[in-house]
Chains A and B, each alone.
Chain A
């Protein structure tokens, strides 16, 4: 079946908020600006480099059999660091399973991210401690949790916002569309942060939508905006503004961070089966880290010693992560029965006792 691409398509070409070009040039935008000190820019650069290093190390650990699987964030560092650094302590973030960069911004120890992928637990941090929810694997489910949480903020009369992450594929899920409706109807303090990385495993964006994703927001009754997802300045500026709108009672915003999944969907995926190499090459030129480096160089805000020191810190972080991953204790068999319920449960206790007795039989 052929699809007439023009039918139902939006009239105007999509607009993209960009504050830093791929060549590292600062550009102005009438609605979004950002005033960063040199220290702040250097700090963003450090974040970008370090989360890429965490990701690289995790991919290597998977290749060596130390992780069962890993979902790489390669290429999406700016979207995650920019939005993650826009959050304040009181804001709450709901991730998918790929938000390692946001986790970094919320001070979640990277080794804790590995537990899920190594198979020692299903999620190893306390969400309340970091205001960073657990990774959610079912696509889009967390968008409703985030809206509910935002409704709780309203009922607490608190000044805080919620941000929820999801991908282009998730926008086809019923839960995501329901969350848009709920957020709109209740004017919930939430930012929908969609990282459109162009691919939902093997399915390109055209399999999910006929219009640019950010334009879907207007149908639900709140603003949508497309930002250069590889531009950390723009992601920071746009997310900050949307969070502020949420905190001040102006309701939800949909941000579409236009980016690219440079790696595979996960380490089990083989993108050469469904996408052409030239596409990857084109996006390499838009790398989120190189443009910040170019900006720092051009404006003489950092010297080679600075870049070397960040690289050295990244190496150390990677080595440390590897060491601590390998040292992660395996769970005990009876841990299966822990935390299924918060209150005592007769059947769980019965099965725990039976299994313990069974295991003891082998030890005698």
Chain B
């Protein structure tokens, strides 16, 4: 067992992937000598060289567009988008090319490209550095969209994403980069499939659905709720596309109450998809409407206000109270 931060776990996962397969490349802004602004790629260029860890010009569409070309030549590029709010210049390449080219080719082309996106708020950053753009991409067929919430998942999921023959958008909870955990790097027996959800806390009264940075918040909320005599189940979705429906629905059928929690605005957020699916599948098991807790329908606020914008333990518990009020 090795104690690792989430960012170090990603780093070790990529290192392992690069050792296992010489076609794996890292590319992005400042990923080389600097090791990335969050140091997620720290030391990789030193060990694998400038041809495999590529400091690119400062243009996100170029990063993803050339990664597609490298994949067409047989490489497996892992792109780093420096911050969530900077993914939009690359959105055209991601949506019109990366997502659609395999189908366009009738299966002749595979695009094993990973796009890593540090996401979410809570680090006191300036505008465009705290966003949660996942729903733009879960809406795009052809992409796989995953989000890690803890060091162990970061370590395994990044390796699984790199091995996937499909493009994967990989969301990293930037305010959790420094969380630490013990990781067993000697065995893969304990790994969970990339697209499986995990019940991270069992409970009976209500189900909290979360992914990325909000998993920790929900676990804290469940602990607090226990003190009030309420048993909450927490599911870490891990994968948003595809969604592990059986794990979700099994839980909802047992608890009858659901609160979805994400940092992204509630309006047209991923929670809407979850609420709709749960209602379709579990209508007669529900004791209350599926409730959503998330960001407001505003642009991400200045950092002095972000604690009010971001869902926290109290807002989650407030929603739980409402779910029990039906």
Contact = CB atoms under 8 A, between A and B. Distances in A.
A144 B166 contact: no
A127 B109 CA distance: 8
Given A134-B101, A340-B141, A141 B106 contact: no
A339 B73 contact: no
A182 B105 CA distance: 26
Contacts of A178: 57, 59, 61-62, 65
B243 A347 contact: yes
Nearest to B64: A144
B69 A149 contact: yes
Given A175-B61, A341-B102, A341-B144, A145 B109 contact: no
Given A123-B104, A152-B73, A343 B165 contact: yes
A148 B69 contact: yes
A151 B66 contact: yes
A346 B103 CA distance: 17
B25 to A, nearest CB: 8
B93 A144 contact: yes
Contacts of B71: 148
A343 B166 contact: yes
B185 to A, nearest CB: 25
Interface string B233-263: 0000000011111000000000000000000
A341 B142 contact: yes
A153 B25 CA distance: 14
Given A141-B65, A182-B62, A149 B107 contact: no
A185 B59 CA distance: 13
Interface in A131-176: 133-134, 136, 138, 141, 143-156, 174-175
Contacts of A250: none
B110 interface: yes
Contacts of A127: 72, 105, 108-109
B202 interface: no
A76 interface: no
B164 interface: yes
B114 to A, nearest CB: 14
A179 interface: yes
Interface in A26-41: none
A17 B74 CA distance: 37
A340 B243 contact: no
Contacts of B64: 144
Interface in B50-73: 51, 56-57, 59, 61-62, 64-73
Interface in B151-168: 164-166
A146 B56 CA distance: 16
Q: Which 4 A-B pairs have the closest CB atoms?
A: A148-B69, A144-B65, A152-B73, A148-B66
